[in-house]
Amino acid sequence: MERVHRLSTHLANQIAAGEVVERPSSVVKELIENSLDAGASQIELEIEKGGIALIRVRDNGAGIHADDLTLALSRHATSKITNFEDLSHVASLGFRGEALPSIASVSRLKVMSHYQGESEAWQISVNGGETEPKAQPVAHPQGTTIEVRDLFFNTPARRKFLRAERTEFKHLEDVVRRIGLSRFDVGISLKHEQKQLHQWRAASDQQGRRRRIAAICGKPFVEQSAEIDFERNGLRLWGWVGLPTFSRSQADLQYFYVNGRMVKDKVIAHAVRKAYQDVMYHGRHPAFVLYLELPAEEVDVNVHPTKHEVRFRESRMVHDFLFSSLYRSLADVRPGDETPQFESTQTATTSQAPFTDSLFSSSTRASHASAPKQHGFALGVQEGRAAYEGMRALAEAAVLEAPESSQAETPPLGFALAQLQGIYILAQNEKGLVLVDMHAAHERVTYERMKQSWGDEGVRTQPLLVPESMTVSATEAQLAEENVEFLHELGFELDRLGPETLLIRAVPALLRHANAKNLVNDVLSDLAVAGESTRIQERCNEILATIACHGSVRASRQLTVPEMNALLRDMERTERSGQCNHGRPTWVQLSLDDLDKLFLRGR
């Protein structure tokens, strides 16, 4: 074992490079963020061989003073903070002071800069960070150009971990896309092998921002997303939320920014997943471009060397704000919304659209008394009958007939024309033809009413005949003890018998057939991760969804025109009516232009 000794500056820089510089895309991220912090309004990138041979970043920012060029390549040197108090409200994208020296230690680096107000520009060059650079005059407009050549040329062990040039460029391009979405006010261009790939102009209005969103995320995303803007308690959430019908097979169109910084955070991820859980088809992923703004002192951005993670001072408040904003924006998308836009000033109410009682046949009513099973637990006969009776109690007189006057305003889903194969409703509105999956649509209407009824009554508790003891970790036992009131609201009664032992005395009545220990474990796990748990609500919703499915109008059931019209009106007033309980679409619109194209009219 060697004696303790101080590492050389060069070796320390290379070790730091292992944290900051993983691949060419890491270099691009650090350099562009420095350009943005310097106030640049235009950034140009030139790449060769996926960034392995050359990365050139040119900006028109404030530049680096000639006297600071050499210092900028030394560790822990930065212009972004001066004292400890600055750490509590960091407004820049990075300040560790390790990016440039780390990059210089594993590449051939050249920095050219013209500091604002100065008459001359200067440059320094360094190969692998081994020589002391000296500044020399150079011709250069205001701003900075940084060239990074032969990345990892002096660290072959690192270079062999790089992938093919095409793969490395794909990672690099993704970084540029993410940054392009973070700053609409900055023009960004990207060239690869002398070929112009992207050129996004600075956008100063909403139309310009939409154009950039469409260029980066695709026009279909812009067309099938809701624009939101919510503000509460010093927090603001704005951006674009993809409608549930615009889902992805992978989580590849999810961009979330905190004070302009692209981040991935478990609190954020949980809130978004929770907001979409009731409308997203199984195995699909939502798409969104969202921006969260909050006071700088409320978030710690210095958690990770690559600055991909943040830590919120009030994570529970942030989580609740994100969830409630997204949940409401998705719930309020109704038939007839052209370009959904939601603001915090908008007050949303729970839909109270009437049921059509005649839609329930005798065979349908009988299905409610069954004991449907889902995800390993069953609904008892009494609970099924009680749920059905509560659902029927909500029924009101529906407006079954279309207005006699042809001049009356046509509702969003129009008026029913016919029924196809006992499955689909064909309706006509001002745009053209509407096709409705009647079972899926009625299932959502029924489900939403049942959720409302269940929510109004609250969670009922079912005491266990024989209390069950379970072994947990000391941390989980402490969580249970600290959250005893919250757990009681969920329907649990738990006692802590020892440092790692809990006694389950009662569980939610609707889940009395479920495994009590597994339920408690799941809830405590959620509390540890997100500070709250929606597990019970989700499980109960699954049961209600099963009841709704069995209690909805079945395929092949012949409906009268008044019954079909009543279902269309219910859909227009019901939250999330665009998707069934499983996330599938309930209706589609075919415009006259769509129909004309099918029949080649006008050609």
What is the homologous superfamily of the domain 9-200 according to CATH? Answer: Histidine kinase-like ATPase, C-terminal domain (3.30.565.10)
The answer on pLDDT for 528 being more than 70 is: yes
Q: Quick one: pLDDT band at residue 258, thresholds 50, 70, 90?
A: very high
What are the extents of the domains in the chain?
Answer: 9-200, 206-343, 357-455+547-598, 461-540
The answer on pLDDT for 304 being more than 90 is: no
Tell me the one-letter amino acid at 222.
Answer: V
CA–CA distance, 467 with 276 (Å, rounded to integer) = 35
For all residues of the chain together, what is the average pLDDT?
A: 81
**For position 390, what pLDDT does the model report?**
44
Q: Quick one: pLDDT band at residue 193, thresholds 50, 70, 90?
A: very high
Over pLDDT 70: what percentage of the chain?
Answer: 76
Choose the CATH number for 357-455+547-598 among 3.40.50.720, 3.30.1540.20, 3.30.160.270, 3.40.50.300: 3.30.1540.20
**In 460-580, alpha helices (H):** 474-482, 484-489, 516-530, 535-551, 561-573
CB environment 372-384: b (16+ within 10 A), e (fewer): eeeeebbbeeebb
**For position 496, what pLDDT does the model report?**
93
Q: Quick one: pLDDT band at residue 87, thresholds 50, 70, 90?
A: low
Q: Report the chain's terminal Cα–Cα distance, integer Å.
A: 85
CATH no., domain 206-343:
3.30.230.10
Choose the CATH number for 461-540 among 1.10.357.10, 3.30.300.30, 1.20.1070.10, 3.30.1370.100: 3.30.1370.100
For the record, the structure tokens of 504 come out as 């389950």
Candidates 548, 586, 583; CA nearest to 282 is 583
The answer on pLDDT for 347 being more than 50 is: no
The answer on pLDDT for 257 being more than 50 is: yes
The answer on pLDDT for 364 being more than 70 is: no
The answer on pLDDT for 20 being more than 90 is: no
For residue range 440-499, what is the model confidence (pLDDT) as tens digits? 999 898 888 877 766 666 667 889 989 999 999 999 999 899 888 888 877 889 999 999
- Please tell me the pTM assigned to this model: 0.73
The dihedral built from the CA positions of residue 170, 241, 343 and 336, taken in this order, carries a sign that is positive
H or E element at residue 33: helix 24-37
The dihedral built from the CA positions of residue 6, 10, 11 and 17, taken in this order, carries a sign that is positive
CA–CA distance, 373 with 390 (Å, rounded to integer) = 20
Candidates 365, 10, 267; CA nearest to 155 is 10
The answer on pLDDT for 388 being more than 70 is: no
The answer on pLDDT for 88 being more than 70 is: no
80-89, 404-413, 509-518, range with the lowest pLDDT: 80-89
Q: Quick one: pLDDT band at residue 60, thresholds 50, 70, 90?
A: very high
> Averaged over 258-268, what is the pLDDT?
87
